[in-house]
């Protein structure tokens, strides 16, 4: 059992304490509970801070103990602070910050994600200030870049120290908002190539400067040895390199020692000091140089990966042009209120989500939906912040403030997803916590046992022990999974697919079956005219024109479909007189003095119009699952309009793509009638369909499928919530607001073909993770063996460790290039 994962800290508000002795009573009583690590009670604030093992004790039991003592208790109001932290080299750095923050009185919880560089801290503002939290992070050797509210300078802090690194690689500018997603992605893909030649990074960045100075010291030391100068001169040059590049390493290592933790910085510090004691100054300097070079490259590269999604925010303009008092004014986008009117000219980006109220244009929505083809917009259409207006002038009514735009929600979702731990990563973290102590103990044993028991040379075995200490930190293994997850989620976002975490990404890679809800998922969710049947030689256009003329004022879905079809065919809508609606039956009106009827059988029966000659046709149409609308006059039936829920245009191709990927089962679940389901299934070449299902029936169908594999459910999140919740992984299409709440994976642009992209990307991600983990384990095992046998020196061990870390990072970043089945 891993106690570090189960250790919780909770701050409670206690009422009823009369004096300081009450606080002592509560404190002593809580400390008697099995599982309580520590308990501190403040009479002045009425707060109780308890650290406990959640495997042995629950929060409810702690509260009950306080209540039994005669006091009231509630969870103390906590404030949450989110900050961006830079300077982390690997996952152990994140753990160091977490432990360091949790030791602050008043901090109830701290979660730090190495993959995103974000930290979420819950704290009691009456016990600790934001300033103290920032100072602790800085004292641990890291940089606080910005809070969720903006730059840290807004709070009066500007942290700059040894863990600074190149922000050109991590920060975008508003000018980046003019780039399309292809340009942004290309920049990300060029990261590995640009780091070596980015002289600005090496010259102006403190990390880069220390690497250069360490390299110069190493070269000068070698030159002094080659020229046979006095040994102290070479050692002086080596010493300069060791001190310059080794100081931040040693500083971080000492902090780790204070926290009773052993990370790479501490192990490297011990190894370098040991090499100097053994008189091997050259190797000590080489180790420091190689380690500094490797971690610098890793921080820069991972920083680029980490900030891929932040380029989305750069697409949103910082200002907006708003109509106020009949004038156009440019204001900060944060000051624009819902309901105000934006003006957007060709070539400008949309500043906020809204609805077009005037004008027509083509909008490039690729940053949001992944669609490469611009979409035409007209009054009534929705536009998203960050998209590019290409051709016309638009006036847009704002529907969401800057904090609530679709792009803001996407960024928040993706950052949360990148922070979550995939199942493989959880396993790796547990393995690493066991691996490092075992190797350290082995190193101590190697250093002591041969010299003490077998009279072996202490220098030889001490050196081998130092080599093992270098190999003890599993940096490459720890980052092997998160770098792949971050890269894949970033790539998916640019293609209109949002994964809500590493779990969803990995699970989608193991899918064996995919079930679709029909209505609104495979179909458009709205009736569409399928065919117009004319009778007695009447022209079908005349039938459609009469029906649309009578239905043009109706809001009924069938009426709207008929009118839309007539307008699409540019048919004339005639002027009507004496309009009468018959609820549940249809409508009647006069056109050019003649009475016409549009409705169902009951309407025509009321007017005495016989349908005997058309009964076989009506039965045939309805057997196909289509709805009939009858059109006639007061004497006879003139035609029949057949309507049905239309298929999505891309649905058939989406199913074919999934089958091409080897998806074992593609199933359709629907509450619709069997004839309707059969027809849809045949059109989509789906052999397994289940009709006339209630929501609980869909749930049972998913449970049955799960007995034989990993099952995904695709729906709109409205009427299929139980089935979506029951599936191993759920996919949502439709509105972003609904989808974000209901599914593990969201198809932002509602293009079903992206399902194949999502599954394919997930499979590639699982494969890359497996490659990274296996490569890291094999490399570590090999060098442990070689180091123990004395075939590997300190420098080679460091080079192997940092080299492996860089290789797994580069391999994970290949997922940025992931394309879908359609090459998108």
Catalytic residue annotation: 517
Name the residue among 695, 312, 351, 656 with its Cα closest to residue 496: 312
- Distance separating alpha carbons of residues 176 and 118, to the nearest angstrom: 22
- Sequence length of the chain is 824
CB of 16 within 8 A of CB of 1? no
Q: What DSSP state is assigned to residue 591? A: E
For 150, the 3-state DSSP assignment is strand
Cα dist from 600 to 563, 637, 672, 681, whole Å: 17, 11, 20, 27
Sign of the torsion angle spanned by Cα atoms 41, 47, 53, 59: positive
Secondary structure of the chain: what % helix, strand, coil (to 5)? 50, 20, 30
Name the residue among 213, 232, 207, 234 with its Cα closest to residue 223: 234
- Distance separating alpha carbons of residues 184 and 177, to the nearest angstrom: 10
Tokens representing 87 are 């300077």
- Distance separating alpha carbons of residues 247 and 288, to the nearest angstrom: 10
Pairing of strands 118-123, 79-86: antiparallel
What do you get for the CA distance between the two ends of the chain, in Å?
A: 45
Q: If phi over 0 gives left and psi between -120 and 50 gives alpha, with beta otherwise, what is residue 359? A: left
Any residues with CB less than 8 A from the CB of 77 and at least 6 apart, and which?
13, 124
Name the residue among 488, 472, 313, 487 with its Cα closest to residue 402: 313
Tokens representing 745 are 């994976």
Q: Reduce the secondary structure of 669-685 to three states and give it as a string.
A: ECCCCHHHHHHHHHHHC
Q: Tell the burial category of 40 from Cβ atoms under 10 Å away from its Cβ (0-12, 13-18, 19+).
A: middle
Name the residue among 35, 80, 78 with its Cα closest to residue 60: 35
Q: What DSSP state is assigned to residue 337? A: P
Sign of the torsion angle spanned by Cα atoms 600, 602, 607, 608: positive
CB of 821 within 8 A of CB of 657? yes
For 307, the 3-state DSSP assignment is coil
- Residue 37 has φ and ψ, to the nearest 5°, of -80, -45
Cβ atoms < 10 Å from Cβ of 533: 20
Question: Which residues does residue 599 pair with via DSSP β-bridges, in sequence order?
Answer: 586, 630
For 88, the 3-state DSSP assignment is coil
CB of 498 within 8 A of CB of 415? no
- Residue 821 has φ and ψ, to the nearest 5°, of -60, -25
Question: Which residues does residue 190 pair with via DSSP β-bridges, in sequence order?
Answer: none
Element (H, E) at 583: none
- Residue 416 has φ and ψ, to the nearest 5°, of -65, -40
Tokens representing 93 are 């750095």
Counting Cα atoms < 13 Å in the Cβ hemisphere of 308 gives 32
Cα dist from 736 to 717, 743, 747, whole Å: 10, 10, 9
Q: What DSSP state is assigned to residue 521? A: I
Name the residue among 669, 733, 678 with its Cα closest to residue 698: 669
């Amino acid at each position: 059992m891993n106690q570090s994962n189960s250790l919780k800290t909770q701050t409670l508000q206690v009422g009823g304490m009369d004096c300081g002795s009450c606080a002592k009573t509560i404190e002593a009583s809580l400390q008697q509970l099995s599982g309580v690590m520590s308990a501190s009670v403040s009479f002045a604030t009425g707060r109780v801070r308890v650290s406990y093992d959640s495997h042995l004790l629950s929060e409810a039991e702690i509260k009950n103990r306080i209540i039994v003592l005669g006091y009231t208790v509630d969870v103390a109001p906590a404030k949450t602070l989110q900050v961006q932290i830079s300077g982390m080299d690997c996952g152990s750095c994140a753990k160091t910050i977490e432990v360091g923050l949790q030791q602050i009185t008043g901090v109830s919880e701290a979660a730090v994600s190495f993959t995103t560089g974000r930290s979420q801290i819950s704290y009691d503002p009456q016990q600790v200030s934001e300033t103290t939290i920032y100072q602790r992070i800085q004292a641990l050797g890291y940089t606080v870049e910005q809070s969720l509210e903006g730059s840290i300078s807004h709070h009066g802090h500007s942290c700059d120290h040894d863990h600074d690194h190149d922000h050109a690689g991590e920060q975008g500018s508003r000018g980046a908002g003019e780039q399309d997603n292809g340009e942004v992605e290309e920049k990300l893909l060029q990261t590995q190539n640009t780091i070596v030649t980015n002289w600005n990074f090496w010259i102006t960045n403190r990390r880069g400067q220390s690497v250069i100075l360490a390299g110069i010291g190493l070269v000068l030391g070698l030159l002094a040895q080659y020229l046979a100068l006095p040994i102290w001169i070479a050692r002086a040059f080596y010493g300069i390199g060791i001190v310059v590049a080794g100081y931040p390493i040693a500083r971080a290592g000492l902090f780790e020692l204070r926290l009773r933790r052993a990370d790479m910085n501490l192990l490297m510090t011990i190894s370098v000091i040991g090499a100097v004691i053994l008189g091997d100054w050259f190797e000590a300097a080489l180790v420091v140089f190689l380690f500094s070079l490797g971690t610098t490259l890793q921080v820069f590269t991972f920083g680029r990966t980490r900030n891929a999604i932040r380029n989305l925010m750069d697409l949103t303009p910082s200002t907006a042009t708003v109509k106020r008092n009949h004038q156009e004014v440019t204001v900060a986008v944060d000051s624009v209120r819902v309901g105000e009117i934006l003006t957007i000219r060709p070539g400008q980006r949309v500043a906020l989500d809204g609805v077009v109220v005037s004008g027509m244009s083509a909008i490039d929505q690729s940053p949001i939906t992944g669609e490469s083809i611009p979409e035409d917009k007209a009054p009534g259409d929705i536009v998203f912040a960050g998209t590019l207006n290409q051709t016309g002038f638009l006036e847009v009514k704002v529907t969401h403030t800057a904090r609530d735009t679709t792009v803001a929600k996407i960024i928040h979702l993706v950052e949360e997803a990148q922070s979550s731990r995939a199942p493989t990563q959880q396993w790796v973290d547990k393995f690493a916590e066991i691996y490092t102590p075992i190797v350290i103990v082995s190193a101590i044993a190697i250093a002591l046992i041969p010299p003490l028991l077998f009279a072996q040379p202490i220098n030889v075995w001490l050196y081998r022990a130092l080599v093992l200490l270098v190999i003890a930190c599993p940096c490459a293994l720890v980052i092997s999974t998160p770098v792949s997850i971050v890269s894949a989620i970033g790539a998916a976002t640019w293609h209109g697919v949002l994964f809500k975490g590493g779990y969803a990404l990995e699970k989608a890679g193991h899918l064996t079956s995919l079930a679709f809800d029909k209505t609104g998922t495979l179909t458009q969710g709205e009736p569409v005219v399928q065919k117009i049947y004319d009778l007695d030689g009447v022209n079908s256009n005349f039938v459609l024109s009469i029906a649309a003329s009578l239905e043009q004022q109706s809001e009924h879905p069938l009426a709207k479909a008929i009118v839309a079809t007539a307008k699409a065919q540019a048919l004339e809508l005639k002027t009507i007189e004496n309009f009468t609606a018959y609820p549940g039956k249809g409508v009647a009106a006069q056109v050019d003095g003649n009475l016409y009827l549009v409705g169902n059988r009951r309407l025509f029966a009321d007017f005495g119009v016989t349908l005997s000659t058309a009964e076989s046709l009506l039965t045939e149409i309805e057997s196909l699952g289509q709805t009939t609308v009858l059109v006639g006059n007061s004497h006879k039936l003139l035609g029949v309009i057949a309507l049905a829920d239309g298929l999505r245009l891309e649905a058939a191709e989406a199913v074919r793509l999934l089958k091409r990927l080897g998806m074992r089962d593609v199933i359709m679940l629907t509450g619709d009638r069997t004839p309707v389901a059969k027809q849809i299934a045949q059109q989509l070449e789906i052999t397994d369909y289940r009709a006339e299902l209630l929501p609980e029936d869909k749930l049972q169908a998913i449970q049955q499928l799960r007995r034989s594999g990993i099952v995904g459910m695709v729906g709109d999140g409205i009427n299929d919530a139980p089935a979506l919740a029951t599936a191993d992984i759920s996919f949502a299409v439709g509105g972003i607001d609904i989808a974000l709440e209901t599914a593990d994976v969201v198809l932002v642009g509602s293009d079903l073909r992206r399902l194949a992209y999502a599954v394919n990307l997930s499979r590639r991600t699982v494969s890359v993770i497996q490659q990274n983990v296996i490569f890291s384990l094999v490399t570590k095992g090999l060098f442990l063996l070689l180091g123990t046998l004395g075939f590997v020196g300190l420098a080679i061990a460091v080079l192997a460790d940092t080299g492996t870390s860089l290789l797994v990072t580069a391999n994970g970043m290949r997922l940025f290039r992931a394309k879908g089945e359609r090459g998108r």
